[in-house]
Amino acid sequence: SRRVRMLKRQMKCRGDIHRLNTPLLAIYESLIPPVEERAKQKQLLALLEKLVCKEWPESRLYLYGSCANSFGVSKSDIDVCLAFNEDIHNKSEILLKLADILQSDNLQNVQALTRARVPIVKLMDPTTGISCDICINNVLAVVNTKLLRDYAKIDARLRQLAFIVKHWAKSRGVNATYQGTLSSYAYVLMCIHFLQQRSPAILPCLQGMKTTYSVTVDDVECAYFDRVEKLGNYGSSNQESVAELVWAFFNYWAYGHDYANSVISVRTGSIISKREKEWTRRIGNDRHLICIEDPFVVSHDLGRVVDKFSIRVVREEFERAADIMQYDPHPWVTLNLNLTF
């Protein structure tokens, strides 16, 4: 099977790849949230702000995750961060208080999950039908949300590729960190890295450029070039279509990536070695079987949730997707990328 892989590694993009462009773009379009959904999210956020401000006038609410990073598909839950100016040592206490406040205001299914890895309050708003998770002082997530959103503004193909990859991952069951597969955040970073590596590059490395935005959160300095509108048509010397990119993305993760030695790094816009990061040995639960460096918390490997069983699942799904993109007459059907409208 190594030989087969070697042969496949030299695989040339299928000849009729351009034929796949229209259906893939149609899938992307069908996943974009309609404008009314944005309005409803704003409405819910305004309600939450009103309720929270009464109790904690100094606090602020921020949207983060897919409802704010521009990689949210239609009907996603929203992620909200309740931020205080000071450190909160007893988050449970605040979350229970918050759950109390929300409960008494007609919000449904209010639940404080104080023992979760990221403790949250969950709720459903019957007026808008939107479900929402509220966490406390997770400002790094608010900042990495902005980084993703800024990358998405540079070239439309990032959002197109990431929507298709996220949709594929959800429908193939490889987007669940509690089952040892990857988070949506990890998949988007994989897409950004991939577009930084195309030749010519479709995305720049914003953290390698002049700093125009900088904040320090939990002792981590987050700095990068955020005046992305100044970049003009950055990726335009690369004319690859979405179909070519989807094909190449899966082919890269199926047959091109060196899982044994490489770490993908959006921060540096390149591949770095596991040895350099000392990610070669298993320490505790960190196995480093697929390495995706967090752009800001550089000691954080987003692949650390992946174990020796789920790595096989994930890699086989990449291989399956690559082969379908190569040989299948209707890849979008076989990949479970059915149109959602």
- Report, in this order, helix, strand and coil percent for the chain, each rounded to 5: 45, 15, 35
Nearer to ligand 3AT, 201 or 298 (CB): 298
The DSSP bridge partners found for residue 223 are 214
Nearer to Mg ion, 66 or 265 (CB): 66
Q: Which residues, numbered 76-115, are part of the site for Mg ion (CB under 5 A)? A: 79
Residue linked to tokens 């890269």: 252
- Closest separation in Å from C-beta 303 to Mg ion: 19
Q: How many residues would you count in the chain?
A: 341
Instruction: Give the C-alpha separation, 149 to 145, whole Å.
Output: 6
Contact 71, 151 (CB under 8 A): no
- Closest separation in Å from C-beta 66 to ligand 3AT: 3
- Closest separation in Å from C-beta 73 to Mg ion: 10
331 binds Mg ion (CB under 5 A): no
Nearer to ligand 3AT, 40 or 243 (CB): 40
70 binds Mg ion (CB under 5 A): no
Look up residue 128 and give its DSSP letter: T
* Residue 114 burial (10 A CB sphere; 0-12, 13-18, 19+): middle
Instruction: Give the C-alpha separation, 73 to 31, whole Å.
Output: 5
69 binds Mg ion (CB under 5 A): no
Nearer to ligand 3AT, 77 or 240 (CB): 77
- Closest separation in Å from C-beta 72 to Mg ion: 7
- Closest separation in Å from C-beta 231 to Mg ion: 27
181 binds Mg ion (CB under 5 A): no
Instruction: Give the C-alpha separation, 294 to 186, whole Å.
Output: 9
Q: SS3 for 59?
A: coil
Q: Residue from 28, 48, 66, 168 that binds Mg ion (CB under 5 A)?
A: 66
Q: What are phi and psi of 174, to 5 degrees?
A: -115, 35
- Closest separation in Å from C-beta 328 to ligand 3AT: 26
Nearer to Mg ion, 42 or 282 (CB): 42
| CA nearest neighbour of 240 among 197, 207, 209 | 197
Q: Which does 224 bind (CB under 5 to 8 A by kind): ligand 3AT, Mg ion, none?
A: none
| CA nearest neighbour of 247 among 340, 339, 168 | 168
Pick the stretch among 66-74, 203-211, 268-276, 287-295 that binds Mg ion (CB under 5 A): 66-74
Enumerate binding residues for ligand 3AT (CB under 6 A): 64-66, 69, 71-72, 76, 79, 141, 144-145, 183-185, 294, 302
Q: Which does 294 bind (CB under 5 to 8 A by kind): Mg ion, ligand 3AT, none?
A: ligand 3AT
Nearer to Mg ion, 71 or 255 (CB): 71
| CA nearest neighbour of 21 among 244, 219, 207, 177 | 244
Give the orientation angle of helix 156-171 with respect to helix 184-197, to 10 degrees: 140
- Closest separation in Å from C-beta 301 to ligand 3AT: 9
- Closest separation in Å from C-beta 142 to Mg ion: 13
Nearer to ligand 3AT, 76 or 310 (CB): 76
- The answer, yes or no, to whether the previous bond of 200 is cis (omega within 30 of 0) is yes
| CA nearest neighbour of 272 among 246, 298, 250, 297 | 298
Name the residues that contact Mg ion, by CB under 5 A. 65-66, 79
